[in-house]
C-alpha cells in the first residue's frame, strides 16, 4: 500500500507549480489554467487524507471545491471575453484601470455623492 | 507492481503539469490540462474514490474544459508574444514560489495519521461508495449543499451582468 506522504508530496508539487505559474504569468487564459491546476493539487491532497483517515468528509469537500471551481471559471472566462472585446488583448498587465490617484478618486467619489 | 503504476502516474502528472503551464499556445495548454485531469482521476481510483473520479471526468474534463476551449476558440488567440510572456521581476517570484512549495511539501510529508474515522474500506465496499458519500453529504452537509446551489446561481447572474456591460 502506497504511503500517504507520496500522495501529499505529489499534491504539494502540483499545487506549487500552479502557484508559480499564477505568480509569473501575464496571459489570463494561462492564469485560469494554473488556478485549475492548484485546485487539482488541493483536491488530490483532500482525497488522499480522506482515504487514509477513513473519513468521507474530505471527499464531500472535494465535491464542493469542484462546484466552486466551475463557478469561478465561468466568471473568470466571461471577464476575459469582456476584457478582450474592450481592448483586444488578454494581457494581465493592462488591467490597471482601477488604480487611480487619490485626489481624482476622491473627486470621483464626490461626484457620485459618496460621503466619507 | 503497485509502486510501478503509482510512480508512472506521479511522474507523468508532474511532467504533464509542466507541459500544461509552459505552452505558449493556449489550445495546447488546455489539451494538456485535459490529460492532467484524466491522470488525476486515475489517482482517485487508486484512493477508492470512484464517484469522485467520475465527477472529475464529467465536470472537469467535460464541462470546464469545454468552457476553456470555447473561450480560446472564440477569442482566436494564437500565441503569446515571446518577450512579453512573463511579468517583470519574475525570477524573484519563482524563488518565492519554490520556497513556498518546499515548505508545503516538507510540512505535508510530516503528517502522521493517528485518528481513524468510522468509514473504513470494508464499510465502503459493503455499502457502496456513492451511497456512502451521499449519506455523508445529505446528513452532515445538507445546509452547505444548499449553499452550493446559491453559489452556482450567483456566477450565472454575474456572467449575465458582465455580458450586458460588455455589449453597451
Q: What is the pLDDT of residues B4-45, one digit of tens each?
A: 999 999 999 999 999 999 888 888 999 999 999 999 999 999
Assigned C-alpha cell, B13: 502528472
Q: What is the pLDDT of residues B46-90, one digit of tens each?
A: 998 899 999 999 999 899 999 999 988 888 876 666 556 677 778
Q: Which of A10, A35, A61 to mutate: most B Cβ within 10 Å?
A: A10
Which residues 25-54 on chain A approach chain B with CB closer than 8 angstroms?
25-27, 29-30, 32-34, 36-37, 40, 43-45, 47-54
For chain A, the structural domain boundaries read 4-93
Name B55's Cβ contacts closer than 8 Å, sequence gap at least 6. A63, A66
Cα–Cα distances in angstroms (integers) from residue B36 to residues A44, B16, B33, B46, B59, in the given order = 12, 6, 5, 16, 14
- C-beta atoms of B97 and A16 within 8 A: yes
Asked whether residue A8 carries a pLDDT value surpassing 90, the answer given is yes
Residue of A nearest to B164 (CA): A82
Average pLDDT, rounded, for chain B: 87
Strand partners, B86: A25
- Neighbouring CB atoms inside 10 A of B124's CB total 20
Asked if the model's pLDDT at residue A3 lies above 90, the reply is no
* B39 vs B31: CA distance, rounded Å: 13
Q: What pLDDT, on a 0 to 100 scale, did the predictor assign at position B79?
A: 65
Tens digit of each residue's pLDDT (9 = 90 or more) over A80-94 = 888 888 777 777 776
pLDDT value for B37: 94
Q: Give the per-residue pLDDT at B30.
A: 93
Does the structure show a pLDDT above 60 at B93? yes
Contacting residues for B43 by C-beta, under 8 A, at least 6 apart: A7, A44, A47, B9, B13
Q: How distant is the alpha carbon of residue B53 from its chain centre?
A: 11
What pLDDT shows up at residue B82? Answer: 57
Taking residues A14-37, report their average pLDDT.
Answer: 91
Indicate the burial class of B127 (C-beta count within 10 angstroms; 0-12, 13-18, 19 or more).
Answer: middle
Question: Is residue A35 pLDDT above 90, yes or no?
Answer: yes
Which chain A residues are closer than 8 Å to B109 by Cβ?
Answer: 5, 8-9
**CA of B166 vs chain A CAs: smallest distance (Å):** 5
Q: What is the DSSP string of A15-64?
A: HHHHHHHHHHB-BHHHHHHHHHHHHHHHHHHHHHHHHHTT-SHHHHHHHH
In the predicted model, what is the mean pLDDT of chain A? 84
Model pLDDT, residue B109: 86
Those residues with Cβ within 8 angstroms of residue A26's Cβ, 6 or more apart along the chain or in another chain: A91, A92, A93, B80, B84, B85, B86, B87
Cα A60 to Cα A47, A76, B4, B59, B154: the distances in Å are 9, 24, 29, 15, 21
Domain residue ranges of chain B, discontinuous segments joined by +: 1-78, 127-167
Is pLDDT at A96 greater than 70 in this prediction?
Answer: no
Q: How far apart are CA B40 and CA B142, in angstroms?
A: 27
**For the residues B116-136, what does the mean pLDDT come to?**
86
Class of domain A4-93: mainly alpha
* CA distance to partner chain A, nearest, from residue B118 (Å): 6
CATH topology for B1-78? 1.20.120
**B chain contacts of residue A55, beta-carbon cutoff 8 Å:** 117-119
Given CB atoms, is A96 within the 8 Å cutoff of chain B? Answer: no
Amino acid at each position: 500500500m502506497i504511503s500517504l506522504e507520496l500522495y501529499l508530496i505529489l499534491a504539494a508539487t502540483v499545487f506549487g507549480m500552479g502557484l508559480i505559474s499564477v505568480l509569473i504569468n501575464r496571459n489570463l487564459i494561462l492564469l485560469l489554467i494554473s488556478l485549475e491546476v492548484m485546485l487539482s493539487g488541493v483536491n488530490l491532497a483532500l482525497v488522499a487524507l480522506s482515504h487514509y483517515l477513513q473519513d468521507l468528509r474530505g471527499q464531500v469537500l472535494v465535491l464542493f471545491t469542484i462546484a466552486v471551481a466551475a463557478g469561478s471559471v465561468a466568471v473568470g472566462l466571461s471577464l476575459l471575453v469582456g476584457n478582450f472585446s474592450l481592448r483586444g488583448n488578454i494581457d494581465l498587465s493592462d488591467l490597471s484601470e482601477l488604480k487611480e490617484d487619490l485626489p481624482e478618486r476622491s473627486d470621483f467619489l464626490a461626484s457620485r455623492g459618496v460621503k466619507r | 507492481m503497485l509502486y510501478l503504476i503509482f510512480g508512472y502516474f506521479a511522474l507523468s502528472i508532474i511532467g504533464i503539469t509542466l507541459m500544461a503551464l509552459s505552452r505558449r499556445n493556449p489550445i495546447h495548454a488546455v489539451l494538456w490540462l485535459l490529460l492532467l485531469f484524466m491522470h488525476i482521476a486515475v489517482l482517485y481510483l487508486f484512493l477508492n474514490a470512484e464517484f469522485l473520479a467520475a465527477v472529475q471526468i464529467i465536470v472537469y474534463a467535460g464541462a470546464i474544459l469545454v468552457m476553456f476551449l470555447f473561450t480560446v476558440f472564440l477569442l482566436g488567440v494564437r500565441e503569446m508574444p515571446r518577450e512579453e510572456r512573463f511579468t517583470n521581476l519574475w525570477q524573484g517570484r519563482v524563488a518565492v514560489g519554490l520556497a513556498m512549495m518546499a515548505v508545503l511539501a516538507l510540512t505535508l510529508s510530516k503528517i502522521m495519521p493517528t485518528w481513524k474515522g468510522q468509514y473504513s474500506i470494508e464499510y465502503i465496499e459493503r455499502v457502496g461508495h456513492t451511497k456512502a458519500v451521499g449519506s455523508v453529504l445529505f446528513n452532515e452537509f445538507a445546509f452547505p449543499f444548499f449553499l452550493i446551489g446559491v453559489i452556482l446561481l450567483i456566477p450565472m447572474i454575474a456572467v449575465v451582468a458582465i455580458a450586458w456591460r460588455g455589449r453597451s
